[in-house]
Amino acid sequence: MATSILDLIKSQVAAQAGNVEIPANAKDKVLDGLTDSIFGSLTQTVTKPGGIDAIKSLLTGKTAAASSPITALAGNLFSANILKNLNLGSVLNGKLTGLIPTIMGKLSGILKDQDGDGDVDFQDILITLKGGNKTQAQKTGGGLLGGILGKILGGTR
> pLDDT of 106-129, one tens digit each?
887 676 666 667 676 667 666 666
Quick one: average pLDDT of 3-21? 84
* pLDDT of amino acid 129: 61
Shortest CA distance to 83 belongs to which of 21, 37, 18?
37
Whether the CB-CB separation of 131 and 10 falls below 8 Å is answered with no
Total structural domains within the chain: 2
As a whole number of angstroms, the distance between CA 120 and CA 45 comes to: 18
Mean pLDDT score of the chain, rounded to an integer?
78
Indicate if 52 and 121 belong to the same structural domain.
Answer: no
As a whole number of angstroms, the distance between CA 24 and CA 34 comes to: 16
Indicate if 119 and 104 belong to the same structural domain.
Answer: no
When pLDDT is cut at 50, 70 and 90, the band that residue 38 belongs to is very high
User: Which of 93, 111, 129 is the C-terminal boundary of a domain?
Assistant: 111
Indicate if 37 and 88 belong to the same structural domain.
Answer: yes
Quick one: average pLDDT of 53-77? 91
Indicate if 123 and 98 belong to the same structural domain.
Answer: no
Indicate if 47 and 88 belong to the same structural domain.
Answer: yes
When pLDDT is cut at 50, 70 and 90, the band that residue 19 belongs to is confident
93's enclosing H/E stretch is helix 90-107
* pLDDT of amino acid 141: 45
As a whole number of angstroms, the distance between CA 19 and CA 157 comes to: 38
Shortest CA distance to 93 belongs to which of 104, 106, 105, 84?
84
When pLDDT is cut at 50, 70 and 90, the band that residue 9 belongs to is confident
Indicate if 86 and 137 belong to the same structural domain.
Answer: no
Quick one: average pLDDT of 92-99? 94
Shortest CA distance to 37 belongs to which of 2, 10, 67, 65?
10
Domain span holding position 76: 5-111
Quick one: average pLDDT of 71-98? 94
